[in-house]
Amino acid sequence: MNEDELVMIEIQSKMVEMLIEYQEHGLQALAMAMKTILDTYVVALGEEDTVKLLETAIKTVKEGKHSHILNTIPKNQLN
């Protein structure tokens, strides 16, 4: 794996850890994470490109590309 892939896996692992930490309020934690990420994309990309990103996200969900996401995190990254 290259450095970008390792950084992405590390970030993904930390985000999962955060959601686990707040699992008693799982939907609220997930909603706030999504809102924060969405707000950040709008600032970084602008509204038009964020809409394109969301359209792509909808497409990949419908294609089933997100139903196995935890399988992509190496076991040594899960605590």
- The rounded mean pLDDT for the chain is 87
pLDDT in tens, 10-27: 999 999 899 999 999 989
Q: Report the pLDDT value the prediction gives residue 55, as an integer from 0 to 100.
A: 97
Does residue 37 lie in a domain region? yes
Cα–Cα distance for residue pair 45/60, rounded to 1 Å: 20
pLDDT in tens, 37-65: 999 999 999 999 999 999 999 999 999 88
Does residue 30 lie in a domain region? yes
- Positive or negative: CA dihedral 5, 68, 12, 44: positive
Domain count of the fold of the chain: 1
Does residue 8 lie in a domain region? no
Contacts of 15-23 with CB under 8 Å at 24 or more apart are: 16/70, 16/73, 16/78, 17/79
Does residue 66 lie in a domain region? yes
Domain membership of residue 31 as a residue range: 20-74
Q: Band the pLDDT of 67: cuts 50, 70, 90.
A: confident
